[in-house]
Structure formats: structure tokens, C-alpha cells
Amino acid sequence: MRRESLLRFREMAADDHPAMIELMRRSPGVSVRDADTPEGLARFLVRNPGLSFVAESDGRLVGCLMGGHDGRRGHLHHLAVDAGHRRRGIASALVERCLSALERQGIHKTHIDVYRNNAAGNGFWENAGWSRRDDTHRFSIARGGRENA
């Protein structure tokens, strides 16, 4: 008889870093950057407590989403769900947790960057009712020659 795996959501912790990086590296559409060091994740979580979440199946990390805000707008980063666990609502549940937590902190508008060629990512956000912005361009700068910052 096939056993149902036990799915659990909880707040992200700094020591989730190795499992998250491993999940992100095997998730096309997610870029691992120089900012994604263990120290970088720890700093993000200290600055944005209670806004990032993971999903675990039988104790193994199978989904992650980092949420934060700058005092005005929310920003989400690094949504990924393990390929064997997709289309079961895990990403939707992670996003709902992040947005609810942001709302409780008074943040009512949130952004996510999605690569144009990421069909799964674009399909997901469109289905979730997010508005694709064609009226703005995102400008970025990396200082100190750090192209992969």
C-alpha cells in the first residue's frame, strides 16, 4: 500500500541554507547568486523575521520562498518546489503564507521578478492572479565588478 508523505510548512531558518541551495540549483528559472551565501540568508532572515517559509515532506525540504519588505513594498525571492512535488499546491501555500505575514506587517503590495523565458514561473504567477507589469522596466546595478551579485 502506498503511504502518503507527511507535508509540513514552517518558517525558514538559517540552517535550511544547504537544502535550499540544492533545491534552487536543480530548479530551472531560479538563479543562485553571490548574495546567496549562508551569511546572506542569515542576514536576510534577521532583517525580515517571520516572512520566509519552507515546505518539508517527511522531513526533507521540498519547497522554499523568501519574503521581505523595505517598509513600503514586499519582495519575494527564490520560489522553488521539488520536481517530484509540483502541482499539489505547495507553491500556492508558500505564497499565501508570505503574503499573509506581509499583510500583518502592513505591507499590501508585493513584487516578484520572473525571467521572461520561465514558462512554469510565469504560468504560476498568472494563475495566482498577479498582474504582469508591462508598464515598467526593472533597472539594476551591481557595484565593484560583481556581475553575479
DSSP state for residue 84 in the 8-state scheme:
G
User: How many other C-beta atoms lie within 10 A of the C-beta of residue 54?
Assistant: 22
27, three cell numbers: 530548479
**Contact present, 75 and 111 (Cβ < 8 Å):** yes
- Burial class (CB within 10 angstroms; exposed 0-12, middle 13-18, buried 19+) of 15: exposed
- For ligand COA, which residue of 91, 99, 102, 107 counts as binding (CB under 6 A)? 91
- Burial class (CB within 10 angstroms; exposed 0-12, middle 13-18, buried 19+) of 78: buried
Alpha helices, DSSP H only, in 1-149? 17-25, 38-47, 90-104, 119-127
Could you say whether residue 86 binds ligand COA (CB under 6 A)? yes
Residue span 38-77 as binding mask against ligand COA, x where in contact by CB under 6 A, dash where not: ----------------------------------------
Of the ranges 32-40, 46-54, 117-125, 132-140, which one interacts with ligand COA (CB under 6 A)? 117-125
Could you say whether residue 92 binds ligand COA (CB under 6 A)? yes
| Nearest alpha-carbon partner for 79 in 106, 48, 55 | 55
- For ligand COA, which residue of 42, 88, 105, 130 counts as binding (CB under 6 A)? 88
Could you say whether residue 118 binds ligand COA (CB under 6 A)? yes
* Shortest Cβ 100–ligand COA spacing (Å): 15
- For ligand COA, which residue of 2, 3, 72, 87 counts as binding (CB under 6 A)? 87
Cα gap 69→109, rounded to integer Å = 10
Of the ranges 10-18, 26-34, 42-50, 103-111, which one interacts with ligand COA (CB under 6 A)? 26-34
Return residues touching ligand COA (CB under 6 A).
27-30, 79-81, 86-92, 112, 114, 118-121, 123-124, 127
